[in-house]
Amino acid sequence: MVSSGRLGRAAAIGGAILATLVFLFPVIYMVGISFKLPRDIFTVPPRWFSELTFDNYTSYFHQARILPRMVNTIIVAAGSAIISMVAGAMAGYALTRMRMRGAGVMAGLILASRAVPPIALVVPMFLVARRLGLTDQYITVILAYVTFLVPYVVWLMRAFFRSLPKELEEAAMLDGCSRFGAFFRIIVPCSMPGLISTMIYCIILAWEELLFALILTNDKAVTIPVAIAGIAADTENGGLWGPLAAVGVLTVLPVVIFALAVQKYLVKGLADGATKG
Amino acid sequence: MSAVSTSSSRARASGPARGSGGPNGRRRLRLGEPGTAWVFLTPAIVLLAGMLLYPIIYTVWVSLSDFDVSTFQPGDWVGLKNYEAVINDPGFLQSLKVTGIYLVIALPLQLVLGFAIAFLLNVAWRGRGVLRALFLIPMVVAPVVAGGIWRMLLDPLWGVVNYALGLVGIGPIEWIGDPTLAMVSLILIDTWRWTPFVVLVASAGIMALPSDVYEAARSDGASRWQTLRHVTVPLLVPVIAAAFVVRWLGAVKMFDIALAATKGGPGQATDVVNLYIYEKGFRGLEFGSASSMATVVLMITMIITFFLFRLSRYLENRW
């Protein structure tokens, strides 16, 4: 963009590196703590290099049933993301590309539902789930997550579908494809980058959700964020820094690998949303 | 995290569909369309009606009734009694105030910081791609984990932040223990978690800036400050507005970080409204007043969001 003096350039690069380090530090610190013994954590000055231990990952994980909870989180995140993608992408397509009365109103309503605070939904969800005997089950949490994922998918995919040339499905339909055929055979394959990045956002959002899970689960279906909130509440006793950091690392690691692997899609999805919206 | 297309989307929603009349043949082809469109919309409508609309109506119903904890069901209709109690509840008013303070400080701070860092990250050099990728990392740290880590970092006794400040002769500072500083901590953590998102959106906006305008500005002898003030910022206004709306939509849901880092304390210093309602409903089992509070929050949020959408659309059209 703006070309500047060599000094200004160096300062900007230095600033960028500094900002990145500052923002990364808490994550690095968490990784460090997760491999330390309590005696090396609770000490002043901090010990940067100390004896390595895997205790935080092994003994505590068993006791707090971290792995089953990880599996719960994966099931809930994948389930809610898939349902939301199907429903949201179809709705987003209808709202951008199809003739219908009331499309503007429908789009407005679905987008406005993005602003509904989850706290306005949790009381009935809890009461109804309790009455139907559906608390602590995957399906309840999955359906709860759909409330914030579907509007989100509609929103992102609308921007994406709008950027596709109209001739695509017109050609398909002149060749005798139905709307459904055109959508699933032509539009969906052409929208893969958008669908992938949107799906990843959905998984990340579901992966880290706390409020619904806190209220709708208590034992079998407990997700990792709920477990972490429990451990964090215990930190007052002082002892659980290591385990908290270890669980934190395990939650962040898959998402970071995932996000970096598909970084190109991820950033492109956002860029398109921002500029072509 | 999410993309940014709030403002204009509703305005244009009906545009492409309506504008595509085309020649006669094409029109005949689409004769059956309105019906098919509703079929495409059905799954989303069913899910949202069942899981979003119905719970909202249920919440309003509970808020107008005398909730019976023994049967766990809404009992007699009591009109606005719960609302009266809620509006006179100093705890609720305090939590609204706390949420307001958090929003008014955190959102502008994150936008300014995010755009500033995006400009720094925009300078072309070999490491730029790596830095951009690394900047994504805080964005995928679950908020509850962020709260947990920062609680350790800010610990008055063992925390690294106080240790570092001690080296330059400051402190020890009671980050979580002091009411004002607890709010500072909450905003700090939230800013750490969310600024990278603003950076991402801002970077996309900056990359999309037209370069010819800058050549024109340079040939007219504009200084760098003038270019920023009169060219860059006006061009970025739609992106700034959109980023603000998206951040607003996320920030009104603030819950996880407060729960993990401060638990609303000390006292009620960081007791954001979502946390307060959660405690009332699910620890105090006061579902009636919790529902009234949730309804009040829902209405406030919808009204402010509506005006933000309008404002953001206005800004987009003006520039």
| Number of C-beta neighbours around residue B89 at 10 A | 16
Name the pairing type of β-strands B73-77 and B65-68.
antiparallel
Using a 10 angstrom Cβ sphere, with 0-12 exposed, 13-18 middle and 19 or more buried, the burial of residue A86 is middle
Rg value, chain B, Cα:
24
With contact defined as beta carbons under 8 Å apart, do B236 and B213 qualify?
no
Does residue B209 fall inside a structural domain? yes
Q: Provide the CATH number for the domain around residue A227.
A: 1.10.3720.10
d(CA A175, CA B146): 53
Bridge partners of B74, per DSSP, are B67
Residue A271 — very low, low, confident or very high, per pLDDT cuts 50/70/90?
low
- Chain A residues whose CB is inside 8 A of the B121 CB are 16, 19
Q: What does residue A89 show for φ and ψ, rounded to 5 degrees?
A: -70, -40
Secondary structure letter of residue A51 according to DSSP: -
Does residue A246 fall inside a structural domain? yes
| Number of C-beta neighbours around residue B80 at 10 A | 12
Q: How many residues does chain A have?
A: 277
pLDDT digit string, tens, across residues A35-82: 887 777 777 777 777 778 887 888 777 777 888 999 999 999 999 999
Task: Give me the half-sphere count of Cα atoms (radius 13 Å) on the Cβ side of residue A233.
Answer: 10
Does residue B313 fall inside a structural domain? yes
Q: Is A46 in contact with B120 (Cβ distance < 8 A)?
A: no
Does residue B179 fall inside a structural domain? yes
Which amino acid is located at B25 in the chain? Answer: G
- Residue of B52, B95, B112, B224 best to disrupt the A interface, most CBs of A under 10 A: B52
- Chain A residues whose CB is inside 8 A of the B135 CB are 20, 23
Q: How far is the alpha carbon of B169 from chain A, nearest alpha carbon, in Å?
A: 14
Would you report the helix, strand and coil content of chain A in percent, each value rounded to 5? 80, 0, 20
| Number of C-beta neighbours around residue A74 at 10 A | 16
Residue in A with minimal Cα distance to B236: A275
Q: Reduced to 3 states, what is the DSSP secondary structure of residue B68?
A: strand
Does residue A9 fall inside a structural domain? no
**Which of A35-49, A84-98, A174-188, B170-184 is predicted with the least confidence, judged by mean pLDDT?**
A35-49
Rg value, chain A, Cα:
23
- Shortest CB distance from A107 goes to which of B10, B132, B287? B10
Of A16, A198, A11, A31, the residue nearest B133 (C-alpha): A16
With contact defined as beta carbons under 8 Å apart, do B256 and A119 qualify?
no
ipTM above 0.95, yes or no: no
Residue B46 vs residues A112, A131, B175: alpha-carbon distances, Å: 16, 21, 47
The pTM score is: 0.85
Q: Within its chain, how far is the Cα of A190 from the centroid?
A: 24
Section A17-45 average pLDDT = 86
- Residue of B40, B110, B200 best to disrupt the A interface, most CBs of A under 10 A: B40
Q: How many residues does chain B have?
A: 319
Q: Reduced to 3 states, what is the DSSP secondary structure of residue B104?
A: helix
Does residue A272 fall inside a structural domain? yes
Terminal C-alpha separation, chain A: 23
Q: How far is the alpha carbon of A17 from chain B, nearest alpha carbon, in Å?
A: 7
Range of the domain at B84: 6-11+80-318
Residue A164 — very low, low, confident or very high, per pLDDT cuts 50/70/90?
confident
- Chain B residues whose CB is inside 8 A of the A259 CB are 136-137, 139-140
Q: Provide the CATH number for the domain around residue B237.
A: 1.10.3720.10
Give the whole-number percent of chain A exceeding pLDDT 90.
29
* Distant-in-sequence, close-in-space partners of B100: CB < 8 Å, separation ≥ 6: none
Question: Which residue's entry shows tokens 């921002």?
Answer: A274
Q: Is A114 in contact with B249 (Cβ distance < 8 A)?
A: yes
The beta-strand segments (E) located in B29-134 are 65-68, 73-77
**Structural domains in chain A (count):** 1
Q: Which two tokens stand for residue A160?
A: 């994406």
Residue A11 — very low, low, confident or very high, per pLDDT cuts 50/70/90?
confident
Does residue B16 fall inside a structural domain? no
Residue A4 — very low, low, confident or very high, per pLDDT cuts 50/70/90?
low
Q: Per-residue pLDDT for A274 more than 50?
A: no
Instruction: Please give the interface size between A and B, counted as residue pairs whose CB atoms are below 8 Å apart.
Output: 378
Residue in B with minimal Cα distance to A231: B148
Q: What torsion do the CA atoms of B260, B262, B264, B270 make, to the nearest 10 degrees? A: -120
pLDDT digit string, tens, across residues B156-192: 878 888 888 888 888 788 888 888 999 999 999 999 9
Of A185, A195, A190, A203, the residue nearest A257 (C-alpha): A203
Q: How far is the alpha carbon of A240 from chain B, nearest alpha carbon, in Å?
A: 10
d(CA A275, CA B4): 8
Q: Is A229 in contact with B256 (Cβ distance < 8 A)?
A: yes
Does residue A230 fall inside a structural domain? yes
**Which of A3-12, A163-172, A181-190, B51-60 is predicted with the least confidence, judged by mean pLDDT?**
A3-12
Name the stretches of chain B with pLDDT < 50.
Answer: 1-31
The beta-strand segments (E) located in chain B are 65-68, 73-77
- Residue of B29, B99, B139, B152 best to disrupt the A interface, most CBs of A under 10 A: B152
d(CA B111, CA B235): 16
Does residue B120 fall inside a structural domain? yes
Q: Is A99 in contact with B51 (Cβ distance < 8 A)?
A: no
Q: How far is the alpha carbon of B120 from chain A, nearest alpha carbon, in Å?
A: 5
Does residue B89 fall inside a structural domain? yes
- Chain B residues whose CB is inside 8 A of the A93 CB are 40
- Chain B residues whose CB is inside 8 A of the A263 CB are 133, 136
- Shortest CB distance from B44 goes to which of A97, A110, A259? A110
What are the DSSP calls for B237-298, one per residue? HHHHHHHHHHHHHHHTT--HHHHHHTTT-STTTT--HHHHHHIIIIIS--HHHHHHHHHHHH
Q: Is A244 in contact with B58 (Cβ distance < 8 A)?
A: no
Q: Is A267 in contact with B26 (Cβ distance < 8 A)?
A: no
- Chain B residues whose CB is inside 8 A of the A45 CB are 163
Does residue A31 fall inside a structural domain? no
Q: Is residue B218 within a helix (H) or strand (E), and if so which, with residue range?
A: helix B211-219
**Structural domains in chain B (count):** 1
More confident residue, B261 or A264: B261
- Chain A residues whose CB is inside 8 A of the B280 CB are none
Arithmetic mean of pLDDT over chain A: 83
Range of the domain at A211: 67-276
Q: Which two tokens stand for residue B198?
A: 């603003």
More confident residue, A72 or A241: A72
Q: Is B242 in contact with A23 (Cβ distance < 8 A)?
A: no
Question: Which residue's entry shows tokens 């119903």?
Answer: B61
